[in-house]
Structure 1
Amino acid sequence: MEVGPDIALAHLSQTERRAYVLADNMLSLNAGWDREILAIELQALVELEFDVELTGFSLAEIDLLIDEAAEGDPDAPDSADDAVPAVGGQPATRRSGAIVVACLLAAGRSCRASDHRRHHRPPAGAD
């Protein structure tokens, strides 16, 4: 790479620069990897005969990532844990109960039932 990205820091005070350096490093510590995409990118670099150790990953880490990705089969049927059971019979709640639950999930707090009746009027002919 001949030219890298620049970040201008001249406008920052010495204290702000110190804080920026800490924040910038913390961002990388909190970052996560999509391991499948990472493996795809590393494999592509290997196939292009690029020195993949320049990425900061060791050869052992790269081999492990690529091997893990190869073991996963995207065309395999979903596991039993991912299966959604069939729904049948009578509903366990009325429409107003579903609205309360939806509102609780959306708001992250409880609301009075009267608030739901006032703000979430069912369509004509619905319970």
Structure 2
Amino acid sequence: MNALTPDDLEFLRRPLHGFLTVAGAEPRPVWFEATTEGTLELFTEPDSPKVRRVRRDPRASLVVAAPVGERERWVSVTGRVSVEPEGAHDLASRLAARYWDLDDPARAADLKEILAVDQLRLVLHPEKVRRYRY
């Protein structure tokens, strides 16, 4: 199947880390958001190595696994990434609220730092989806 299922989306909407791999780079842990359109989005600074690599070769994959203590489960998404100039700060705010306790002054300050600099939104458009559930 080449699209995310409702079950996949439910799993991917949890605060789990994904491991993003772009052409020419090792996997990196990232925050991400699964959209109702079935894409996966993340944010990054415009001069990050992943942006340079994606502009050269837009192929990427994201793997998300259930944490230790849960039954084994993972979803792997491979596709092309588009670089979008709009919406990154809103995405960063939503993801920070999902992954961090923003009532913690240190985390609120971390988010403020993220929002103080330019950000781009990377959108992974699924071409192949693989999954495993035990």
Note whether the superposition's TM-score is higher than 0.5: no
When you count strand as a share of all residues, which structure comes out higher? 2
TM-score (norm: length of structure 2)? 0.22
- Structure of higher CA gyration radius: 1
When you count helix as a share of all residues, which structure comes out higher? 1
Higher relative contact order (CA 8 A, sep 6+): 2
